[in-house]
Amino acid sequence: MVTKKRKSRRKVARKATRRKATRRKTARKAPKRKATRRKAKRKAPKRKAKKATRRKAAKKAPKRKKAARKKRKGSKSSGLNKVSYTVSPALAKIIGSGKHTRPQVVKKLWAYIKKHNCQHATNRRMIVPDANLSEVIGSRPVDMMKLAGHLSKHIHK
Q: What is the pLDDT of residues 53-112, one digit of tens each?
A: 555 555 666 667 666 666 666 556 667 677 889 999 999 999 998 899 999 999 999 999
For 150, counting Cβ atoms within 10 Å of its Cβ (0-12 exposed, 13-18 middle, 19+ buried), the class is: middle
Amino acid at 88: S
Q: Where are the alpha helices (DSSP H) in the chain?
A: 4-60, 79-82, 89-95, 102-115, 131-137, 147-151
The radius of gyration computed from the CA coordinates of the chain, to the nearest angstrom, equals 38
24-68 pLDDT, tens digit per residue, is 666 555 555 555 555 555 555 555 555 555 555 556 666 676 666
> pTM value?
0.50
Q: What region does 64 belong to: left with phi over 0, alpha with psi -120 to 50, or beta? A: beta
Residue 22 or 49, more confident: 22
**CA 118 to the chain's CA centroid:** 30
Averaged pLDDT, 108-137: 94
